[in-house]
Structure 1
Amino acid sequence: MLKFLKGVVGSAAGGIKDLPYSIGDPYAASWGSWTHCQGTSKEDNSPVSIFSFTASGAQDGRLAPARNGVKRLRTVRHPNVLSFLHSTEVEGMEGKITIYVVTEPVMPLAEKIKDMGLIDTQRDEYFAWGLHQVSKAVSFLNNDCKLVHGNVCLSAVVVTPALDWKLHAFDVLAEFDGANPEASGPMLQYEWLVGSQYKSLEFAKADWALIRKSPQYALDAWGLGCLIYELFSNTNLAKTEDLRNTAPIPKNLLPDYQRLLSSQPSRRLNPSKLIENSDFFQNKLVETIQFMEVLNLKDSVEKDSFFRKLSTLVEQLPRQIVLKKILPMVASALEFGSAAAPALTPFLKMGAWLSQDELTSKVVPTIVKLFASTDRAIRASLLQNIDQYGNAFPSQLLDEQVFPHLATGFSDTSALLRELTLKSMLILAPKVLWPSQPQANTTMW
């Protein structure tokens, strides 16, 4: 880390020297005064996100909360919180101070939703999965860490390439101080950064005594209600009164939405209860991903039943989420042995929806590893479906890593494997790098 800091701090003129990341195009929007740009690592060209904030000087009131946000993001670790990689400050000309924060690659939720173009049931299923993830992050902050985010809303959520939702924008985040309800002064030191449209009644009135007496999740429960409104209304919240318009909210989410936005802080719904009890989360997409996340805890009968149904199920789920989220999860399960032969059928079915290049990069590496398996059921399934992926093998990869394992099938004790191995050569033979034949000696004596 010290080496990184020395490399990025510029000269007296305030330039960025030897920053090990290239800053790309900015996204259209970000939270607060931050700018969110695409970026890449100069070391291996891997993608990242780079957030930057520029203060006019050391006395700029926004500088302290920005530093708070960086510190909090660095120290709070959770699967549904944006993953921090690096940060640094650079002093520029005229005393300007710029903070750079490097994170895993993400894009703003609003932009990703627009790009995906989901509608109707598929949109609601994806929103349910995303809200489930954000609610878990908020519950972790509130119930486990006794922290208050303070500004949960659409712009505080970003999306990974695997289409997972991550919570960030921690500038306002602070410890919940419920032990001293009569204390003067705000509990959230930087509450002035929060837009008035996102503030509950007690927050808008700066009634800190009431806030301290309320449950630690009360402010962020309200924020989850604001996020839900912005998602389903497809617009940024303009004023608090707009939250009363419940027409866009799905009927099976409406009771929870109303409890999150209760006028009485003590009656608001704990995010943990939202996760556990909401009917809105009971859908095929959420249940499928949740099953995959705890696959190691399932017995073989449950796994086989799940994977036999998955081939049909993936046809009903949003195609983008199937390919970017579920396909990699099934690939990982096959590679590490937590899934058996029945998982190959849906895996190859999903792989057939990829382009040829994507098939080679996302499916073939798993297939190569599976050819080394001693499980006859897996070997048989691979050979029976060779027509779905055989042409995607680069010749050298096939020759060096696949054919030595495949060739053992010619002498296997199982007649079925011998037959399937022989039939597979109809597809693979043209791609195998056969040894060059010696030329005949034509020398005339």
Structure 2
Amino acid sequence: MFKFLKEVVAGSGSGLKDFPYTIGETYASAWGSWTHHRGTSKDDGSPVSIFSLSGSNPQDRHMVAGRNGVKRLRTVRHPNILSFLHSTEAEVADGPAIKHTIYIVTEPVMPLSEKLKELNLGGTQRDEYFAWGLHQISKAVSFLNNDCKLVHGNVCLASVVVTQTLDWKLHAFDVLSEFDANNEASGSPMLQFEWLVGMQYKPMELSKSDWASIRKSPPWAIDSWGLGCLIYELFSGAKLARTEDLRNTASIPKSLLPDYQRLLNSTPTRRLNPSKLIDNSEFFQNKLVETIQFMEILNLKDTFEKDSFFRKLPNIAEQLPREIVLKKLLPVLASSLEFGSAAAPALTVLLKMGSWLPTDQFSIKVLPTIVKLFASNDRAIRACLLHHIDQFGESMSAQTVDEQVFPHVATGFSDTDGTIRELTLKSMLILAPKLGMGLSVR
């Protein structure tokens, strides 16, 4: 069995000498006994996260649990679960001793606790961002419990990480196991590695190791309790120290309190299903959640709905946390324009959001989309580009103008629409100085 699990873990690499990633600085916190490192790919320098777990004995129970975590993360895929890239297991010298270390490589993320300190949000902006994050984690937990009949076992603040676009992802799968309800009378452990879970996070039936009761409960009972623990830690701003602290609801928003209490019901069969938390809670009905959800299904909306949304978006964006707008909404908006699911009003919003970026970031995150849009056959988009060219024209290199922009702009000189012809002529004030000398002379 150990050999099989080791092969599963090491399936993406033969050892540290062949490890195609560079291990960087560590974050201050990580779930369990794991260490969370920044990292980069040796191939292209792209950022990644690297999680490592070490032990003096390869059959140490933490190592065995770690291999379970690797296997589970590798096979369970969902938009709100941390994306697995690579794993390996190696023997690493630690002075005179040899340590056995498991490495997992994932998309670049940072611990939620550290990201929240960095964002330093307060008031309505904090609650709206928490609502979006809890919405994502609830979807991940619902997927595990309801669709896969799996139990995570330790949903809490430490088991959540944040991507570069500020999305929340669930990870820490060492305890994860199938929900075995077929043998209700069995008293054998269903969660082989439940000893990894701190007592403060365990519901009563788990702390008593009442496996018969757990098997008779819904598959979400343990993880619904965990979602309650996560909510407590988020709003109290402190790690849960004792199970009794969950009764202190002073920091829980009133709109979330009824569902919080249902998640933590002392009777497992009466705990709220995570899917119902998403559907029912008034707490999730706010500007940030509604805006992101609309943008993520933009291609399903009709023209009227899109136009109405994008005309309101500039005012909404002003009220949302600036970092969330720039790291989450702006990339989604740029992608929607590139792939044709957003129309001309969205371009105006993109330029407004882009104006909040430093010049170097504008050139990386916004300008490539604008350049691609010059090839669009949509007259409204072409007119919008030409009308606002003074906002981005100086950022384009002469080579970009010559090779990617001007050939498309030039078609406007003979366009049947008089407005396009007029805007094309005016755009030459910005573009002409950047054109090749031969072309300028002609």
Q: Judge same fold: TM > 0.5, yes or no.
A: yes
- Residue among 427, 431, 436 paired with 1:433: 436
1:118 aligned residue? 121
Whole-angstrom CA distance in 2 between matches of 1:137 and 1:412: 51
**TM-score if structure 1 supplies the norm length?**
0.94
1:72 aligned residue? 72
Whole-angstrom CA distance in 2 between matches of 1:379 and 1:348: 14
2:195 aligned residue? 192
List aligned pairs for 1:246-265, cutoff 5 A. 246-265=249-268
2:209 aligned residue? 206
List aligned pairs for 1:144-163, cutoff 5 A. 144-163=147-166
Contact 2:186/2:212, CA 8 A, preserved across alignment: yes
1:338 aligned residue? 341
2:38 aligned residue? 38
Shift of 1:435: 2.3
Whole-angstrom CA distance in 1 between matches of 2:136 and 2:125: 17
Whole-angstrom CA distance in 2 between matches of 1:113 and 1:79: 21
Does the residue aligned with 2:18 lie in a helix, a strand or coil? Answer: coil
Q: Greater shift after overlay, 428-437 or 46-55? A: 428-437
2:3 aligned residue? none
Shift of 1:5: 6.1
1:239 aligned residue? 242
Q: Greater shift after overlay, 136-145 or 304-313? A: 304-313
Whole-angstrom CA distance in 2 between matches of 1:96 and 1:40: 23
Residues 308-367 of structure 1, C-alpha deviation per residue, up to 9 Å, x if partnerless? 111211111111111111111111111111111111111111111111111111111111
1:442 aligned residue? none
Distance verdict in 2 for CA 1:145–1:7, change over 3 Å: closer
Whole-angstrom CA distance in 2 between matches of 1:118 and 1:395: 41
1:294 aligned residue? 297
1:387 aligned residue? 390
RMSD value over aligned CA atoms? 1.7
Whole-angstrom CA distance in 2 between matches of 1:164 and 1:78: 13
Residues 170-197 of structure 1, C-alpha deviation per residue, up to 9 Å, x if partnerless? 0000000112121122110110000011
Whole-angstrom CA distance in 2 between matches of 1:58 and 1:405: 62
1:168 aligned residue? 171
- Higher CA-based Rg: 1
Contact 1:58/1:95, CA 8 A, preserved across alignment: no
Residues 371-393 of structure 1, C-alpha deviation per residue, up to 9 Å, x if partnerless? 11111111111111112211111
List aligned pairs for 1:132-151, cutoff 5 A. 132-151=135-154
Whole-angstrom CA distance in 2 between matches of 1:418 and 1:95: 73
2:423 aligned residue? 420
Distance verdict in 2 for CA 1:253–1:5, change over 3 Å: closer
Shift of 1:411: 2.1
Does the residue aligned with 1:48 lie in a helix, a strand or coil? Answer: strand
Q: Greater shift after overlay, 314-323 or 41-50? A: 314-323
Ranges of 4+ aligned residues in structure 1 off by more than 3 Å = 4-10, 92-95
1:83 and 2:83 equivalent?
yes
Whole-angstrom CA distance in 2 between matches of 1:100 and 1:233: 33
Does the residue aligned with 1:81 lie in a helix, a strand or coil? Answer: coil
Matched residue type, 1:90 = A
1:409 aligned residue? 412
Unaligned runs of 5+ residues in structure 1 are 11-15, 439-445
**TM-score if structure 2 supplies the norm length?**
0.95
Contact 1:7/1:17, CA 8 A, preserved across alignment: no
Matched residue type, 1:18 = D
Whole-angstrom CA distance in 2 between matches of 1:108 and 1:65: 21
Whole-angstrom CA distance in 2 between matches of 1:6 and 1:113: 35
Matched residue type, 1:80 = N
Distance verdict in 2 for CA 1:305–1:91, change over 3 Å: same
Matched residue type, 2:86 = H
1:443 aligned residue? none
Matched residue type, 1:406 = V
2:26 aligned residue? 26
Residues 59-109 of structure 1, C-alpha deviation per residue, up to 9 Å, x if partnerless? 311111100000000000000000001101112454531101000000000
Distance verdict in 2 for CA 1:99–1:411, change over 3 Å: same
Shift of 1:300: 1.2
Whole-angstrom CA distance in 2 between matches of 1:88 and 1:272: 35
List aligned pairs for 1:87-98, cutoff 5 A. 87-93=87-93, 94=97, 96-98=99-101
Shift of 1:434: 2.6
Whole-angstrom CA distance in 2 between matches of 1:54 and 1:228: 31
Matched residue type, 1:128 = A
Does the residue aligned with 1:88 lie in a helix, a strand or coil? Answer: strand
Matched residue type, 2:34 = W
- Residue among 160, 177, 181 paired with 2:180: 177
Whole-angstrom CA distance in 1 between matches of 2:112 and 2:296: 23
Distance verdict in 2 for CA 1:424–1:436, change over 3 Å: closer
Contact 1:65/1:190, CA 8 A, preserved across alignment: yes
Matched residue type, 2:374 = F
Shift of 1:394: 1.6
1:103 aligned residue? 106
Contact 1:221/1:270, CA 8 A, preserved across alignment: yes
Shift of 1:144: 0.2
- Residue among 356, 381, 386 paired with 1:353: 356
- Residue among 397, 402, 409 paired with 1:399: 402
Matched residue type, 1:293 = E
Contact 1:135/1:272, CA 8 A, preserved across alignment: yes
Distance verdict in 2 for CA 1:425–1:238, change over 3 Å: same
2:309 aligned residue? 306
Shift of 1:296: 1.2
Whole-angstrom CA distance in 1 between matches of 2:303 and 2:55: 57
Whole-angstrom CA distance in 2 between matches of 1:234 and 1:382: 45
- Residue among 267, 270, 273 paired with 1:267: 270
Q: Greater shift after overlay, 423-432 or 132-141? A: 423-432
Whole-angstrom CA distance in 1 between matches of 2:33 and 2:135: 27
Does the residue aligned with 1:374 lie in a helix, a strand or coil? Answer: coil
